[in-house]
Amino acid sequence: DAGVTQSPTHLIKTRGQQVTLRCSPKSGHDTVSWYQQALGQGPQFIFQYYEEEERQRGNFPDRFSGHQFPNYSSELNVNALLLGDSALYLCASSSLTGRGETQYFGPGTRLLVL
């Protein structure tokens, strides 16, 4: 049973460019959450997708957008990249089972903005 997969593993972009990160959830999961983890920090919640809609959003600007496909996979798009967007981007999948549901994380995509 494959876990959560993310692509690419590493990415280098320049300021002002746009980037798309991809995530495939664990088998049986229908919900995908995205987090940003800066170096030496805990993850920060970006948003969550369920049934192809954004259910919840953290404190991130509109430059950060996402999409969920019918097969539950998801994309994170970041426009007009800033140096401060350099971070590890984590995808987590889960199934909405209620209290205490576990989010399973992928290995992340490390983005460097120059």
Partner 1 sequence: GDSVTQMEGPVTLSEEAFLTINCTYTATGYPSLFWYVQYPGEGLQLLLKATKADDKGSNKGFEATYRKETTSFHLEKGSVQVSDSAVYFCALREDAGNNRKLIWGLGTSLGVNP
Residue ranges in contact with partner 1 by CB under 8 A = 4, 31, 33, 35, 40-45, 48, 55-56, 58, 90, 92, 94, 96, 98-108
Closer to partner 1 by Cβ: residue 84 or 100: 100
Quote helix, strand, coil % in the chain, to nearest 5: 5, 50, 45
CB of 59 to partner 1, least distance (A): 10
Q: Which helix (H) or strand (E) holds 112?
A: strand 109-113
Closer to partner 1 by Cβ: residue 90 or 113: 90
Cα 98–Cα 102–Cα 106 angle in degrees, nearest 5 = 140
